[in-house]
């Protein structure tokens, strides 16, 4: 007891007396910490510091405040935004024939281009003071999603000017003169923008772009001015072939010290009219056969005045920071909107097709193999819509949550890929015959584009989500990094000492907390709600605690090597991602009034998230470089093993049943899906057949009973069966007419496109 008492007193003195603690503990740790700091390039540091921490920060604390989640305002469209969606957007959708656009014209028709420009589709983010519509992020997302269910080409065309590009950069960083010069023209559609960042030698590593500008003196409008002589070669630039104004990113150098004493100024962004001497718009690309405009641009020894730098001379060298800040917001709107559109379209059409299409005398949706895939389609679409709304809502709060938007971009594009594959499985031959009737083909072709752009998904998952999240979202690490980088050693040590005490307490709390929650399976965690979803809040809190613990151990033991352990860090990123997705689903469920019909979708989504969290943790533990530590961490977080399971078969069947009949949940889950009015429209045709087959069920029961009674022969073609039923007096004339119309619609819906000999060849020659 005496020895124990002495040890406790000694520990209290060491920790409690500042000078002793700093000399014996903090200084040695501070020295080690500075050595193991991950080396950050300037671009990495700027990316790390850009953007905001939001709900992701709560998930990293190990004990999320779920009341904060529920208090986040529900994003809603204004009356003006809803009117635009109901009128201008609907008019545009009726003008589009996506098959002709992609397969024959390889461009939007002239009247569509004119309509988009004249009606403010390029002006959704531009303030009203400059003639723009100044729509919210949720409106931007909803409009793009709605258009994408009709035409990916049209959606991308509208999406790009309202995402990262000249308009957004000007609004955030442009001088007043630049705003007055460009924004009215962009808003009115008189100017078409593009932004050139990617080149042959630099994609993900924007810091390595070879495109350069040199500060020098030159002639502009008959006067000698200080400007920049540019050389660039860019590719994959959307809207470049039709752009009138080019946003350009390049490295700027000042060898003659015309701007100061720094020669390597850094990445800079400028705005250049494409009509300017020396600007070259090169060849057009043809990404996955999609018809939206995408191409190359280059220039050699092109002189521009310094005033064309976005933000003016004060913003030279600040281009990368500008880009990552704006990209953090745009990444949360555009590609997530496309992914969600895929879900809305695939869910509504696949459910309809699975009901209309029959095999062995039954709708194929009654077969369990189809129900499994249809359940996954519906469950993923619910997650997509929940993430779309929550992420766009964050941007409407004037936040730029870089980690959250990276999660949204990666997982929403991957989910759309998964559910499209399932949709193709169910449609089978109906999905692979390309033609005017095929509503899935172009979306399928476009999925790899979404996977690739705005940061390829491999990069986003392996480097960005946890790479940024570990430092940005952790309550202490970024501050500790700043303290270690402080050129004033004494001030840095003092700051580090204060943070270290808090960090040690945080880590100890998570260690014991993880063990307690593991032993009790999170049963004692608090939930902000009662009912069926309460269990999920408790489990997500438990997993948040496990993430905080494992992140601390990883950074402590691996230091700078963690950045290079991409597979390991990506798994922790997966844990963070699925915590966010599950949070979005639970928030969506609450915001929509806790609808009973939503529960199968909520259960499916969150159970899938928990399973994926368990799978990511399992990979992390088994691959941790120090296997003993890996086993220790697993024992703390999952002392009885990882027991999360994928949703059971009953859950998939419940979702499938909801999608196989007209219902409120079906309409809410697919409310963005465009349904054409004519019988020749592919989505309209399928929906009409779906409704007609449902309406005819009482009449079909009459026929089945007549067959059972021996009045009508079995296994005859449906049209013959209808005639036999009429002859036998089973059906009235009106009922016969209804069934004949239903059969006509049904057959049209399941039919596929075919072409006369030579027809495709002649179209190819015309193209």
Residues acting as catalytic residues: 454
**Alpha carbon distance 345, 152 (integer Å):** 12
> Shortest CA distance to 537 belongs to which of 606, 640, 638?
606
Q: Which long-range contacts (CB under 8 A, 24 or more apart) does 274-280 make?
A: 274/243, 274/244, 274/245, 274/246, 275/244, 276/302, 276/304, 277/302, 278/302, 278/303, 279/246
Quickly list DSSP for 512-564.
HHHHHHHHHTTTTS--SS-STTHHHHHHHHHHHHHHHHHHHHHHHHHGGGGGT
User: Beta partners for 270?
Assistant: 248, 309
Determine the Cα–Cα distance for residues 507 and 518; give it in Å rounded to an integer.
16
Long-range own/partner contacts, residues 650-653 (CB < 8 A, 24 or more apart): 651/375, 651/379, 651/600, 651/603, 651/604, 651/607, 652/371, 652/372, 652/374, 652/375, 652/376, 652/379, 652/604, 653/368, 653/371, 653/375
At which residue do the structure tokens 């704006």 appear?
326
Cα separation values, 19 from 22, 102, 486, Å:
5, 72, 20
What is the number of helices (H) and of strands (E) in the chain?
A: 35, 9
- β-pair partners for 253: 214, 264
Quick check: helix, strand or coil at residue 296?
A: strand
Percentage helix, strand, coil for the chain under 3-state DSSP, each rounded to 5: 65, 10, 25
Strands 193-196 and 245-253 turn out to be: parallel
Distances in Å between the Cα of 701 and the Cα atoms of 251, 363, 588 are 73, 14, 39
Classified as helix, coil or strand, 33 is helix
């Amino acid at each position: 007891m005496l020895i124990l008492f002495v040890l406790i007193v000694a520990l209290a003195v060491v920790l409690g007396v500042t000078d002793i603690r700093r000399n014996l503990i903090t200084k040695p740790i501070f020295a080690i910490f500075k050595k193991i700091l991950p080396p950050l390039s300037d671009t990495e540091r700027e990316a790390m510091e850009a953007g905001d921490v939001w709900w992701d920060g709560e998930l990293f604390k190990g004990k999320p405040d779920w009341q904060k989640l529920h208090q986040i305002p529900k994003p809603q469209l204004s009356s003006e935004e809803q009117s635009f969606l109901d009128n201008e957007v609907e008019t545009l959708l009726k003008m589009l024939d996506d098959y002709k656009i992609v397969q024959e014209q390889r461009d939007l028709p002239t009247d569509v281009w004119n309509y988009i420009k004249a009606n403010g589709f390029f002006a959704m983010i531009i303030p009203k003071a400059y003639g723009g519509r100044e729509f919210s992020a949720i409106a931007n997302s909803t409009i793009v999603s709605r258009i994408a269910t009709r035409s990916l080409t049209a959606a991308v065309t509208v999406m790009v000017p309202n995402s990262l590009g000249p308009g957004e950069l000007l609004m955030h960083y442009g001088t007043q003169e630049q705003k007055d010069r460009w924004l009215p023209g962009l808003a009115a559609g008189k100017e078409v923008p593009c932004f050139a960042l990617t080149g042959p030698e630099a994609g993900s590593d924007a810091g390595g772009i070879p495109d350069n500008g040199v500060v020098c003196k030159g002639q502009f409008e008959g006067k000698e001015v200080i400007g920049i002589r540019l050389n660039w070669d860019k590719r994959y630039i959307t809207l470049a072939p039709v752009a009138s104004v080019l946003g350009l990113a390049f490295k700027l150098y000042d060898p003659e010290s015309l701007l100061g004493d720094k020669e390597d100024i850094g990445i800079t962004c400028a705005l250049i009219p494409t009509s300017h001497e020396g600007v070259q718009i090169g060849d057009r690309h043809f990404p996955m056969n999609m018809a939206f405009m995408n191409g190359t641009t280059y220039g050699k020894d092109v002189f521009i005045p310094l005033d064309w730098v976005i933000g003016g001379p004060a913003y030279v060298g600040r281009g990368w920071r500008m880009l990552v800040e704006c990209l953090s917001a745009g990444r949360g709107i555009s590609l997530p909107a496309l992914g969600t559109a895929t879900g809305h379209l695939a869910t509504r059409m696949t459910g309809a097709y699975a009901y209309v299409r029959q095999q062995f005398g039954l709708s194929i949706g009654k077969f369990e193999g189809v129900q499994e895939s249809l359940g996954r389609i519906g469950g993923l679409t619910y997650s997509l819509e929940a993430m779309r709304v929550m992420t766009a809502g964050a941007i409407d709060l004037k936040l730029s949550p870089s980690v959250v938007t990276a999660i949204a971009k990666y997982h929403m594009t991957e989910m759309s890929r998964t559910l499209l594959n399932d949709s193709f499985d169910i449609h089978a031959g109906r999905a692979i015959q390309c033609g005017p009737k095929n509503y899935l083909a172009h979306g399928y072709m476009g999925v790899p584009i979404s996977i690739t752009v705005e940061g390829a998904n491999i990069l986003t998952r392996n480097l960005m989500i946890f790479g940024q999240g570990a430092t940005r979202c952790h309550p202490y690490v970024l501050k500790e990094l700043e303290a270690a980088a402080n050129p004033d050693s004494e001030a840095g040590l003092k700051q580090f000492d204060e943070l270290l005490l808090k960090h040690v307490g945080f880590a100890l709390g998570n260690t014991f907390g993880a063990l307690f929650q593991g032993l009790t399976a999170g049963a004692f965690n608090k939930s902000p709600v009662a009912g069926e979803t309460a269990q999920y809040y408790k489990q997500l809190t438990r997993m948040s605690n496990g993430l905080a613990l494992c992140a601390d151990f990883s950074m402590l033991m691996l230091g700078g090597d963690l950045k290079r352990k991409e597979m390991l860090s990506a798994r922790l990123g997966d844990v963070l991602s699925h915590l966010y997705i599950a949070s979005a689903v639970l928030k969506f469920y609450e915001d929509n009034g806790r609808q009973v019909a939503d529960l199968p979708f909520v259960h499916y989504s969150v159970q899938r998230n928990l399973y994926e969290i368990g799978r990511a943790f399992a990979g992390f533990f088994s691959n941790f470089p120090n296997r003993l530590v890996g086993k220790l961490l697993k024992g703390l977080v999952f002392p009885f093993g990882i027991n999360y399971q994928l949703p059971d078969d009953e859950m998939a069947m419940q979702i499938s049943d909801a999608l196989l009949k007209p219902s409120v949940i079906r309409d809410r889950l697919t409310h963005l899906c465009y349904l054409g009015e004519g019988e020749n429209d592919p989505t309209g045709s399928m929906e009409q057949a779906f409704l007609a087959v449902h309406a005819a069920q009482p009449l079909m029961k009459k026929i089945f009973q007549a067959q059972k009674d021996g009045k009508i022969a079995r296994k005859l073609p449906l049209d013959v069966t209808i005639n036999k039923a009429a002859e036998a007096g089973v059906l009235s004339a009106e009922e016969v007419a209804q069934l004949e119309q239903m059969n006509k619609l049904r057959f049209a819906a399941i039919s596929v496109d075919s072409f006369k000999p030579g027809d495709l060849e002649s179209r190819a020659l015309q193209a």
